[in-house]
């Protein structure tokens, strides 16, 4: 009887559970009752609820109040909807985005079917002042695969993976390491300026690693629309070593390669080595040893200037230009890059073509942002074609807007080329612009090389009323290398300064002892040969004179015997004298002497 009773009880409970589930309408199931109903799904397949997962937004802070993403996964659902801050229910058919106000918010996400509904919710924050990403250069129709940072929270931006920046006309950067976008040169400013410090242009990808040290990571670079047959990778205009650059592929004009750190990358055609022409009969001439032909460098273009000096204040911008002339009788392609001035100089063109004899002006903008510290900024414009490379020294003096002094510096022509350890002479004029009284000012003299490295610093204090002019002698250090140097002069008063620059060249004498010794030996040999020849010539001359005297001055006895004439025979004597005279004239050409 007990067994029958338990069997009847189980059947009764099973029928009542199925009946309870089947009569419960989906619209009347609350989130709590849905969870209760979920407990019974193992008892009836028809009672299975939706499965819902909320991916975005996260319980984090978003830096934009627009286009905040909603992403989710759902299964066994008949409908999905969301409500923001318990507001209107909005139906979802796929992941989307929404906009909201600043501050704290809560998002409710629902999924339902005939068996019930499931609820997920998340609290998030919006603070547009917390951080900003300036990258409008990589937005719009040419952005390609560029990462949309606005879809992510501030916390995600601090450990971001697989960042991509692309310009579909010129190239792409794909970073292979995680990057903290907020950890740039100035962590406290609440922004990162990708526009100014990352450049993707024609045959050029560059990152200013000083301003963006957080982006100095391994990456895969792609340069688009190249026309080279066999390109090679350049770093700062030089061949990139294999320890830094690794070629991945080159096809369809796209050069793809990996780099271990950042600088300025470009590409050029790999030069073709012409084999030596060996003449018939043996080895090549010129003593080259048969290793290869000597390729003569031919200058293909000229520039109107080798240096540019600019004076600006923070928050200002100016445009400068250089003039390039093709001096060949054929079309040439020229690349232009900057060095050490990334983010300050923006080139209008980085790759140009010039027809034979064509001249063109290349403009570039010099931008000094408000936050730039007043100082001297030194860099170069590198203009390159094949084996011809020219450098233009660029000196940018950033001065305070309200400087109280004006300064002028000039180095006379006779001091424009000096030896190491010698002095340069600078002509300095100082003008008091804003003070109505005599002031003691500090003047600082700095000598820098063309890479911006300081090699000398001197200071002195002078008194200025309205204007003062003076000469300053500065000794160049003895250990400097030859090359172009900059004299940077600053006059300081109340923590503000004005500045001016002038350039000069350091040259070195050629003291190659082997050359000097060889010249000395050669001169000695020449002098010795000359003296020997002169000595031999003098000896021969003396011998000729001596022989001549012997031939002309005959022995007295013989002459006397042959020409003695009796006094009585005067006529006979004259005849004999004439005969003797004619005879000796024929023999010696000298007139004989006759005794009376």
Which of 133, 204, 193, 201 shows the shortest CA–CA distance to 167? Answer: 201
The model's confidence at residue 220, banded by pLDDT at 50, 70 and 90, is: very high
3-class SS at 213? helix
What burial class does residue 348 get, using C-beta atoms within 10 Å of its C-beta: 0-12 exposed, 13-18 middle, 19+ buried?
middle
3-class SS at 144? coil
Assigned CATH for 132-272? 3.30.1610
pLDDT in tens, 300-342: 888 888 889 888 888 888 888 888 988 888 888 888 888 888 7
Give the long-range contacts of residues 346-349, CB within 8 A, separation 24 or more: 347/201, 349/202
Q: Helix 570-588 to helix 556-563 angle, to the nearest 10 degrees?
A: 140
User: Mean pLDDT, the chain, as a whole number?
Assistant: 80
Rounded to a whole number of angstroms, the CA Rg of the chain reads 48
The model's confidence at residue 95, banded by pLDDT at 50, 70 and 90, is: confident
Angstrom distance (rounded) from CA 497 to CA 491? 5
DSSP state of 25: -
pLDDT in tens, 383-418: 988 767 888 999 998 888 777 778 889 999 888 899
Same fold, 304-398 and 405-506: yes
Q: Which fold has domain 304-398?
A: Immunoglobulin-like (2.60.40)
Which architecture characterizes domain 405-506 according to CATH? Sandwich (2.60)
Tokens describing residue 59: 């319980």
Lowest-confidence segment of 23-32, 129-138, 292-301, 335-344 by average pLDDT: 23-32
Domain boundaries, the chain: 2-118, 132-272, 304-398, 405-506, 554-596
Task: With residue 504 as reference, give the H or E element that holds it.
Answer: strand 496-506
């Amino acid at each position: 009887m007990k067994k029958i009773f338990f069997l009847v009880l189980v059947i009764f409970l099973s029928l009542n559970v199925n009946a309870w589930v089947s009569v419960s309408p989906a619209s009347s199931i609350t989130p709590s009752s849905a969870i209760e109903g979920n407990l019974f799904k193992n008892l009836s397949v028809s009672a299975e609820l939706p499965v819902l997962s909320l991916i975005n937004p996260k319980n984090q802070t978003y830096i934009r109040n627009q286009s905040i993403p909603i992403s989710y996964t759902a299964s066994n659902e008949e409908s999905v909807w969301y409500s923001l801050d318990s507001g209107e229910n909005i139906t979802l058919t796929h992941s989307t985005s929404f906009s909201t106000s600043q501050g704290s918010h809560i998002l409710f996400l629902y999924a339902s079917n005939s068996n019930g509904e499931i609820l997920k919710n998340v609290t998030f924050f919006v603070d547009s002042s917390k951080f900003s990403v300036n990258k409008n250069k990589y937005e719009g129709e040419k952005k390609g695969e560029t990462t949309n940072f606005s879809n992510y929270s501030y916390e995600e931006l601090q450990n971001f993976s697989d960042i991509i920046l692309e310009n579909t006309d010129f190239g792409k950067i794909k970073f292979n390491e995680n990057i903290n976008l907020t950890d740039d040169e100035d962590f406290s400013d609440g922004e990162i300026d990708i526009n100014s410090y990352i450049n993707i242009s024609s045959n050029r990808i560059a990152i200013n690693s000083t301003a963006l040290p957080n982006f100095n990571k391994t990456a895969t670079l792609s340069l688009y629309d190249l026309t080279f047959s066999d390109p090679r990778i350049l770093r700062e205009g030089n061949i990139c070593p294999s320890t830094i650059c690794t070629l991945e592929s080159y096809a369809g004009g796209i050069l793809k390669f990996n780099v271990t750190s950042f600088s300025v990358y470009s590409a050029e055609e790999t030069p073709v080595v012409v084999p030596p022409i060996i003449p018939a009969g043996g080895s090549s001439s010129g003593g080259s040893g048969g290793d290869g032909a000597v390729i003569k460098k031919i200058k293909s273009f000229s520039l109107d200037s080798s240096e540019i000096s600019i004076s600006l204040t923070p928050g200002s911008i100016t445009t400068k230009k250089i003039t390039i002339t093709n001096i060949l009788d054929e079309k040439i392609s020229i690349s232009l890059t900057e060095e050490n001035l990334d983010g300050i100089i923006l080139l209008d063109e980085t790759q140009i073509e010039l027809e034979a004899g064509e001249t063109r002006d290349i403009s570039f903008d010099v931008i000094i942002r408000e936050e730039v510290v007043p100082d001297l900024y030194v860099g170069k414009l590198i203009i390159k074609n094949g084996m011809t490379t020219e450098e233009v020294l660029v000196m940018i003096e950033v001065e305070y807007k309200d400087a109280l002094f004006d300064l002028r510096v000039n180095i006379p022509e006779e001091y424009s080329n000096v030896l190491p350890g010698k002095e340069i002479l600078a002509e300095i004029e100082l003008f008091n612009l804003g003070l109505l009284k005599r002031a003691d000012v500090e003047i600082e003299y700095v000598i820098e090389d063309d890479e911006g490295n300081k090699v000398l610093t001197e200071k002195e204090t002078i008194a200025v009323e309205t204007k003062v002019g003076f000469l300053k002698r500065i000794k160049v250090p003895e250990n400097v290398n030859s090359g172009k140097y900059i004299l940077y002069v600053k006059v300081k008063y109340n923590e503000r300064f004005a500045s001016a620059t002038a350039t000069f060249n350091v040259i070195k004498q050629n003291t190659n002892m082997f050359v000097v010794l060889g010249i000395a030996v050669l001169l000695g040999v020449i002098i010795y040969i000359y003296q020997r020849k002169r000595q031999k010539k003098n000896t021969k001359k003396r011998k000729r004179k001596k022989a001549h005297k012997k031939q002309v001055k005959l022995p007295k006895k013989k002459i006397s015997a042959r020409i003695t004439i009796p006094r009585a025979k005067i006529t006979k004597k004259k005849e004999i004298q004439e005969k003797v005279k004619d005879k000796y004239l024929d023999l010696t050409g000298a007139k004989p002497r006759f005794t009376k």
